[in-house]
Amino acid sequence: MPLSKVNDKIRIAILDTGVDLGHPYFDEKIRTGSTQSRRESINECKSFLPGKKGDEDAHGHGTHAASLLLRLAPNAKVYVARVVDDDGEISNPDAVAEAINYASDPEHWGVHIISMSLGWKNIPESVERAIKTATMTREVFIFAAASNNGPTDDYSVTYPARAMMVFPVFAASSQGELQRFNPSHEHKKGLSTLGVNVTGPWTRHGTEEKSPTRCRSGTSIATPIMAASAALALQYIYQKPPLKIEGLYRLEGIDGMVELLSLMRPIHLKETPYFVQPGVWLRNKDYARKKVMETIQHIWYGHIQ
């Protein structure tokens, strides 16, 4: 989307295993001093799988991913689409396509960003059509996990991460070190962020734990963090009154977002893909911008660990 069109709270859809909305984590406030709970920040949960509910999660990954979005982008409106089976498989690509269409449709969720911690070696036709509509017609930013297959697999970057209009997300340590399970990253728009040893709430399904948590790694973990980073960037640039950052108002689509996220790249890290760390804003010197970045640094170092 043209970045200048962002004039409201950023809306993010997460396509995953659903969310255990009854987990105590979602009772907590979105930030200190707020009266709004994290549960209230999730605008809608919808299942695209027959016989399943969107606000339930029998696997756990979706609950973990949703928590990362809410931690890093507490002002965003989050929408949850349940499209992944209880065993973590994606047996119904048409459900994914339907979710993309629903999430990107202005008559339904009308999101700005979609996070997809999933992928295939092949290209499901229905998903390909939905992604083209979402990105090219509705101008939605889609972030997808690049896969954990390593660099030797024939189709190491899975679909939709390898689609032309989708951002492939790679996993790195908190210091920006790319992990061996990442696929080959010869992608001009390849982006990496924290995806190693990230702790978050997990589903209560199948356990007697009242508030279970799990520590997980992978590009599927990095993906919601990257989506939240993009939301933070858009909210920051177009806060009211909007901050003027030279050049960004002329950028649109993938090029504009890559440029925006590249500003979150530590200057000493020159490895490709870009390592996105929201606490870093390289072209930001004045006091107001510094205070915003201090807030983001607090979120990054204080909560994502």
**What residues are labeled active site?**
16, 61, 220
The residue behind tokens 């490895």 is 271
43 φ, ψ (degrees, to nearest 5): -70, -40
Task: Determine the Cα–Cα distance for residues 283 and 261; give it in Å rounded to an integer.
Answer: 12
Q: Hey, how many other C-beta atoms are within 10 angstroms of the C-beta on 208?
A: 6
What six digits make up the tokens of 112? 């700005």
Residues 216/60, Cβ–Cβ less than 8 Å = no
H or E element at residue 42 = strand 42-47
User: What one-character DSSP code corresponds to residue 145?
Assistant: E
Task: Determine the Cα–Cα distance for residues 57 and 55; give it in Å rounded to an integer.
Answer: 7
DSSP string, 196-248: SSEEEE---TT---SS-EEEE-SHHHHHHHHHHHHHHHHHHHT-SSPP--TTG
Task: Determine the Cα–Cα distance for residues 43 and 285; give it in Å rounded to an integer.
Answer: 35
Q: Hey, how many other C-beta atoms are within 10 angstroms of the C-beta on 188?
A: 9
